[in-house]
Amino acid sequence: MTPMRPPSTDEARIARAWEVLGTVLDPEVPALSVCDLGIVREVVPQPEGLEIVLTPTYSGCPATEVIERSVLDAVEAAGLGPAHVTLRRAPAWTTDWISADGKRKLRDYGIAPPGAPALPGGAVPIRLVRRQAAQPVPCPHCGSARTEQLSAFGATACKSLYRCLDCREPFEHFKPL
């Protein structure tokens, strides 16, 4: 039996940073943390502090600067700083990176999570981006598949607006990307 070695200072710091980042909420969908969304790609120890690698949901996302500041504030408040953020735009973020728990949280919040099938490598067929998803978007309120798209865009560019034909409630759908 091999004795377990205690975690190194860097390993413990990285693990703690991931815990802290799991509490940083997305400003546009505050039911999800930045980790639930899958935009935190890495936490890297550096001689001068921690590097937090983020991939924005899309290059023009207006919340990127707010997210960066929130991440840095949380890491520094936890005594893990100094820290800096690196934005990594390649590979591009995909809704496949949203955790299963994140998709559950979206549904509980009243937003239909993305569900269109992805191609190998995470790509979504362009025909699904240009028109309403080929599969019905289930209502997050009652679960009905009898829904209709009202607008390709919701409150943010990454969501579209739907209405349930059974319970009549409007809802947003997080677009598959």
pLDDT at 56: 93
Tell me the average pLDDT across 65-79. Answer: 96
pLDDT tens, 3-33? 565 556 889 999 999 999 999 999 999 999 9
- The whole-model pTM stands at 0.79
Residue 118 has pLDDT above 50, yes or no: no
Instruction: Provide the phi-psi class of 23: left if phi over 0, else alpha when psi is between -120 and 50, else beta.
Output: alpha
pLDDT tens, 84-117? 999 999 999 999 999 999 999 999 999 999 974 4
The percentage of the chain sitting over the pLDDT mark of 90, rounded to a whole number, equals 68
Tell me the average pLDDT across 35-60. Answer: 93
Q: CB burial class (10 A; 0-12, 13-18, 19+) of residue 168?
A: exposed
Reading the block at residue 110, the tokens are 């009243």
Ordered structural domains, the chain, with CATH: 9-87 (3.30.300.130), 111-174 (no CATH)
